[in-house]
Structure 1
């Protein structure tokens, strides 16, 4: 792993040096607002906390605040929702409308294309929290997060790393603890920490599988490492820790596919995305043919983007394709050409991207720290509210956003 701006260079699998660092003086809570650590467990469904595989997470929740569920933004996909969490904007407003998308000027974006991911022009329709933190004279550290590899609005986090799935959960935690060991005037006020292992296991083997539980346990052990590291530094009770996921997951399989070719001539379609949500452009001169997709089909419904149900808050951004087809839970929309391209890949047994009202898409929210109540369970709220909550915890001026801090005030201590 190459050392870049703010990076720590270590061999794969080796512990980072911060793990053995002597603890700095205890954080003085009344000097500046306490640091905020935002943790994402990609794909962790709200009800997974009750499966018994994550005792550390359950203990933090029991001693702090837990939401019954957190409703993701539409579409319930990784990149759109991670950018929503740090901008407070729905994907239609921040511009990351899918994990894959097209832009008339920029071309094609894919979450697996490093060149596109590192191009700030894809991200500049919004301002992520780490940019605001730094522009207001404080420091940030991003241990993986969609958007952090690009100089958004011309600004990079003080500390960051390009995403590398080979960096273990423990290494990620040790990097964060290393940032907490910095002198007070250099220590980040805002830190993110991202884990992708649960999402991968659920895609491959399905939610509720033994492999998914093992991945959850792996991440939980990393959380225990984080909690223990903060306690040894005298910081656990003075840091506001917010643990979320971007979406839930539902079981799917190769026997639950809707083939667009069976409904219309594929020559009429320009397919941008497939899966739970198919995004489709219309080939020149083929509008009448493509229109045959519109309406309700078995296990799927299709709309022109301007006719989507208003509750999705989606469809006005130029990057959203002309026609959107949303599958019922557990089903996927595809084409024969897509199946042929992917014929050598194993079929996914779990997926997300479905209607955000589905309980299976419900995301995790847990918080602990001096700002939060103890032993509280709060009703479901939309994930756009996380941003104004973080802004309040950090005592900074935030950007225009779609969230409502009033929704999350009941989880805070009086006067927090």
Structure 2
């Protein structure tokens, strides 16, 4: 009896550890395209005529909204989506790479080429999929240009410093390039990033006609995407997920409200060694030696719409502060209240970086393709759960992650869901066989 039981443990362990133990060697999973429209707030398509987005609701899956991680910035949020890890786990804690010793700060675009900012021991899905025989590519997606444990993405394009965000012709050309990657070069997984509607949201604000115009342009691009998929014969073999990294809210400014200008409440020159501020609703401060308590007390109750924390006291629900890169003092404003440091050079009319629980920070999720249900409305979920969904669609064993397929599996049709049931069926059958034999 001992030998059968020992063998049973080994078999069941193998069933549990493998996501697809029943998969035949020649079975092909469908291809996957992940598209991110930066700064696409969850309700941007509700006050604009968007026939193509409306059609996606009929032909695929729509989530009411999804919640990005804190901090609600482009690079941290995108890397959570591609790795399935909270920000404090993957270490991409800001859009800008910085060095507290040299006091150097790198712009968001410059940071895209800094492997040392992205490679912190967490593997993004591109690399995990490649290690399991898949062919992957990144088209302007944040983090795609870095190396991870010495490995680079099979095909990677990084945005240039002067890359235009809103050129619709270029958007369509990018789609054509990606379609050729799938058909002519047999890529399995591609991520495609667009810098809108974030840019327009910053420049003009989210409650403007300019924002409505860019949403119409995005909707036309979705229509072009659907036509390109059909033209390239990918309707039955390509799954598509469309999402974003954060929302956008209107910035409150004088004379209507008192803005948060930290220099009004404390002396930066005397107390602060390094800060990363003036980029929206969130900031961090490294005090000079022995000055932490003084600056903390000076700012703690400085403004009714400013939240100030010591690193060790930052709310755990944000899954943010435990990483070693996080500075000793963290600040964020209530929605719409930007955090300004020494000198106000802030011109944005819309911004993000605020509490991810705020409704204006929520973003979109749409999906369609051979593995998704049609006309399915999903309940809200955190973007952390997109990663295990993508792994399942690709047939990839995921790296350790903070997400759960349980939050998204109801989106899948019966053909795709069979992969979720078979491990259980196999396990039950094995147990039954051994029970009978014993």
TM-score (norm 1): 0.86
CA RMSD across the alignment: 1.9
Q: Give the superposition deviation at 1:301.
A: 1.0
> Which whole-Å CA distance do the structure 2 matches of 1:55 and 1:395 have between them?
32
In the other structure, the counterpart of 2:98 is 102
Matched, 1:180 2:182: yes
When residues 107 and 146 of structure 1 are mapped into structure 2, their CA distance, relative to the original with a 3 A threshold, is farther
Structure 2 stretches lacking a partner, 5+ long: 1-25, 417-438
> Which whole-Å CA distance do the structure 2 matches of 1:54 and 1:110 have between them?
37
In the other structure, the counterpart of 1:279 is 284
In the other structure, the counterpart of 1:198 is 197
In the other structure, the counterpart of 2:371 is 371
When residues 316 and 106 of structure 1 are mapped into structure 2, their CA distance, relative to the original with a 3 A threshold, is farther
Contact 2:141-2:158 at 8 Å conserved across structures: no
Instruction: Mark the structure with the bigger radius of gyration.
Output: 2
Match of 1:311 among 310, 317, 333: 317
When residues 271 and 133 of structure 1 are mapped into structure 2, their CA distance, relative to the original with a 3 A threshold, is same
In the other structure, the counterpart of 1:121 is 116
> Which whole-Å CA distance do the structure 2 matches of 1:307 and 1:201 have between them?
35
In the other structure, the counterpart of 1:49 is 45
In the other structure, the counterpart of 1:33 is 29
In the other structure, the counterpart of 2:307 is 301
Contact 2:66-2:383 at 8 Å conserved across structures: yes
When residues 108 and 240 of structure 1 are mapped into structure 2, their CA distance, relative to the original with a 3 A threshold, is farther
In the other structure, the counterpart of 2:296 is 291
When residues 290 and 101 of structure 1 are mapped into structure 2, their CA distance, relative to the original with a 3 A threshold, is farther
Q: Give the superposition deviation at 1:131.
A: 0.8
> Which whole-Å CA distance do the structure 2 matches of 1:137 and 1:87 have between them?
18
Match of 1:169 among 162, 168, 171: 171
Matched, 1:151 2:155: no
> Which whole-Å CA distance do the structure 1 matches of 2:113 and 2:174 have between them?
20
Instruction: Report the more deviating stretch, 145-154 or 69-78.
Output: 145-154
Contact 2:242-2:364 at 8 Å conserved across structures: yes
In the other structure, the counterpart of 1:135 is 131
In the other structure, the counterpart of 2:332 is 326
Structure 1 stretches lacking a partner, 5+ long: 1-29
TM-score (norm 2): 0.82
Contact 1:103-1:319 at 8 Å conserved across structures: no
Contact 1:43-1:248 at 8 Å conserved across structures: yes
**Within 5 A, what are the aligned runs for 1:3-42?**
31-42=27-38
Contact 1:265-1:289 at 8 Å conserved across structures: no
Instruction: Report the more deviating stretch, 293-302 or 144-153.
Output: 293-302
- Count of aligned residue pairs for this structure pair: 377
Q: Give the superposition deviation at 1:415.
A: 4.7
When residues 111 and 80 of structure 1 are mapped into structure 2, their CA distance, relative to the original with a 3 A threshold, is farther
Contact 1:123-1:147 at 8 Å conserved across structures: yes
When residues 109 and 335 of structure 1 are mapped into structure 2, their CA distance, relative to the original with a 3 A threshold, is closer
Contact 1:76-1:354 at 8 Å conserved across structures: yes
Contact 1:91-1:97 at 8 Å conserved across structures: yes
Matched, 1:232 2:231: yes
Q: Give the superposition deviation at 1:187.
A: 1.1
> Which whole-Å CA distance do the structure 1 matches of 2:52 and 2:150 have between them?
38
When residues 113 and 145 of structure 1 are mapped into structure 2, their CA distance, relative to the original with a 3 A threshold, is closer
> Which whole-Å CA distance do the structure 2 matches of 1:313 and 1:399 have between them?
19
Contact 2:112-2:158 at 8 Å conserved across structures: no
When residues 31 and 52 of structure 1 are mapped into structure 2, their CA distance, relative to the original with a 3 A threshold, is farther
Instruction: Report the more deviating stretch, 60-69 or 79-88.
Output: 60-69
| Offset from partner CA, 1:208-253 (integer Å, 9 cap, x none) | 3111111122222222211101111221243111000111110114
In the other structure, the counterpart of 2:18 is none
> Which whole-Å CA distance do the structure 1 matches of 2:275 and 2:355 have between them?
20
When residues 404 and 103 of structure 1 are mapped into structure 2, their CA distance, relative to the original with a 3 A threshold, is farther
